[in-house]
Amino acid sequence: MKLTGNTILITGGGSGIGRALAEALHAEGNEVIIASRRKEALDDTVAANPGMHAVVMDIDSQASIVTSAAMLKRRWPGLNVVLHNAGIMRPENLKSGDVSVAEAEITTNLLGPIRLTAALIEHLLQQPHAAILTVSSGLAFVPLSLTPTYCATKAAIHSWTQSLRYQLRDTCVQVTELIPPLVQTELMGKKHATNPAALPLADFIRQTMSILHARPDINEVLVEKVKPQRFAERGDYPAFYQAFNDRVTSE
């Protein structure tokens, strides 16, 4: 993916990693459109970044995705990059029998990117150069037992991204997966944004952009902090999984 001269749609672009990536890519000379359900967050981001655009889109709603995709194609016919960042992460007690969190996370984290890609793929295939970027997680490879469905959706996104990349291998559309480690955002509340065990957001963005500059054709963007999770299966995975979850549980 070339890093300048694109028209980029970023879901979940009003906060956290999505906003930070939107600002970094906007600074590179791209036309950036951020999407979210939260108009207030979108307005705040656009106000801080003159020239950035925003659309209200409910990633949980098939109807909203289809309507928004049609509008995006009309208003920005040069749209050639989609970054699937929107996601939710909630703790679950699997002993409770409650599936509400699981259903919400599957809808947002997995169905959202699948539906939005389906709504835009024909348009993207008509561009001279295009890209689809997904955001999975180190938790796709070593799940956190506290958030089982979130981890499962990210594992599914990793798998789906590989299939998408293979099916689009002879087209103009490049497929890249961003695999963040634990990053200081408010994904699980304000306390999460100051977690000393997490990578500061600015450091994650700086390292991610450096990788994309150095390797524009890269399939997986891996900052150093996430590599132990991404490649845990190469070592004693059961011990790594046990130690990882024991450590988090004790915090």
Compute the distance between CA of residue 84 and CA of residue 109 in angstroms, rounded to an integer: 9
- Name the token pair of 90: 């909630």
Compute the distance between CA of residue 241 and CA of residue 251 in angstroms, rounded to an integer: 16
Compute the distance between CA of residue 142 and CA of residue 145 in angstroms, rounded to an integer: 9
- Of the candidates 20, 18, 133, 8, the one whose C-alpha atom is nearest the C-alpha of residue 76 is 8
Residue 150 is a catalytic residue = yes
DSSP-assigned letter for residue 36? E
C-alpha dihedral, 114 to 22 to 135 to 118, nearest 10°: 10
- Of the candidates 106, 112, 62, 40, the one whose C-alpha atom is nearest the C-alpha of residue 82 is 112
Compute the distance between CA of residue 66 and CA of residue 134 in angstroms, rounded to an integer: 19
CB contact at 8 A, 180 and 224: no
Cβ atoms < 10 Å from Cβ of 194 = 10
Handedness of CA 41, 115, 180, 96 (dihedral sign): positive
CB contact at 8 A, 223 and 211: yes
- Out of 150, 166, 237, 241, pick the active-site residue: 150
φ, ψ at 34 (rounded to 5°): -100, 145
Residue positions annotated with a catalytic role: 150
